[in-house]
């Protein structure tokens, strides 16, 4: 009976562990699992620093700095898992969720460095307090100020992330699409550059432009007439030879026709009979009769 109860309890636990390890390979699952750590960890660390200021206890100060260090460094895996899960989460989000996801990603990229700076300050502060206890107050105050700023930044980043999948949290309009804004800025910059270049371009004369256009047209025609392959080149060469042979045949035929036409015209001119002497005399006699 006891053994069956143990098996009944162990089997769900084993299934739960297997499910957890299976989901731990998904970056979106790990991002959701770890993203409270930077905010909650820094919140508890900030409260611990306030407590250390009142107690003026070095051990409490060191413990508070360690807590701040852990909370700040936890932002690194959260950021890495978020970057890896970006494409998959965006594919399953609605249009408003995509815009909030882009805003969440942009805020994280711009402000992640604050967490790294805070982690470095907390780590240095631990060593300084242990070696120089008198610096405890100054280090606590400095870390507390920087920790408060970083904590507010973490809440600002997490606010956009909470709107990605939770529609019930969308009490305001989605931010403008960042990709569209970037593309629009590039188009405006390109248009301004083109207009500026057009204004500065000197007016050229019509004749050089026409010559340049004619030169480009000839180059384009030459490039278009250039054969694309050896087979086309051979075919064009054969056609050219055939045309050349046809031209030579036509030239020879024309010369033959000219020679034949010259030979037929020569006998007709030389063979035409002139006026006979009798006819000549008859004409003179008629001419004399008409005289008075």
pTM reported for the whole predicted model:
0.55
pLDDT at position 152 is 94
> Does residue 10 belong to any structural domain of this protein?
no
**Does 197 map to a domain?**
no
> Which residue numbers in the chain have pLDDT < 70?
1-11, 13-14, 17-24, 178-229, 262-292
pLDDT digits (tens, 9 = 90+) for 99-156: 888 888 999 999 999 999 999 999 999 999 999 988 899 999 999 999 999 999 999 9
Structure confidence at residue 95 (pLDDT): 83
CATH of the domain at 111: 1.20.120
On whether residue 276 sits in a domain, the answer given is no
- Judge whether 117 lies within some domain: yes
Residue 63 burial class via C-beta count within 10 angstroms: exposed 0-12, middle 13-18, buried 19 and up: middle
Q: Is residue 189 part of a domain?
A: no
Collapsed DSSP state (helix, strand, coil) of residue 25:
coil
pLDDT of residue 261: 74
Residue 258 domain flag: no
Sign of CA dihedral 216, 220, 222, 223: positive
> What is the extent of the structural domain holding 167?
26-181
- DSSP conformational letter for 74: T
User: Does 53 fall in a domain?
Assistant: yes
What pLDDT score does 115 carry? 96
Number of domains in the chain: 1
Domain presence at residue 284: no
């Amino acid at each position: 009976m006891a053994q069956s109860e143990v098996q009944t309890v162990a089997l769900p636990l084993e299934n739960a562990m297997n499910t957890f390890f299976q989901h731990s390979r998904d970056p979106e699952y790990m991002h959701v699992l770890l993203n409270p750590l930077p905010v909650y960890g820094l919140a508890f660390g900030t409260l611990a620093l306030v407590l250390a200021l009142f107690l003026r206890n070095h051990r409490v100060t060191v413990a508070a700095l360690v807590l701040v260090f852990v909370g700040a460094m936890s932002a690194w895996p959260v950021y890495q898992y978020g970057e890896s899960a970006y494409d998959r989460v965006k594919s399953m989000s609605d249009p408003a969720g995509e815009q909030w996801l882009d805003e969440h990603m942009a805020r994280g990229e711009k402000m992640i460095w604050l967490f790294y700076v805070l982690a470095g300050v907390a780590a240095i502060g631990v060593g300084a307090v242990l070696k120089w206890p008198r610096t405890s107050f100054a280090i606590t105050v400095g870390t507390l100020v920087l920790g408060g700023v970083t904590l507010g930044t973490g809440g600002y980043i997490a606010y956009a992330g909470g709107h990605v999948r939770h529609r019930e949290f969308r009490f305001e309009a989605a931010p403008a699409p960042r990709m569209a804004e970037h593309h629009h800025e590039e188009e405006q910059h390109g248009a301004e550059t083109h207009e500026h270049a057009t204004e500065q371009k000197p007016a050229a004369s019509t004749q050089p432009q026409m010559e340049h256009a004619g030169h480009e047209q000839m180059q384009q025609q030459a490039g278009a007439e250039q054969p694309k392959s050896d087979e086309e080149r051979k075919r064009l060469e054969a056609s050219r030879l055939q045309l050349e042979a046809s031209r030579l045949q036509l030239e020879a035929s024309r010369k033959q026709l000219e020679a034949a036409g010259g030979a037929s015209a020569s006998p007709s001119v030389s063979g035409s009979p002139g006026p006979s002497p009798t006819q000549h005399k008859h004409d003179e006699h008629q001419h004399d009769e008409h005289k008075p």
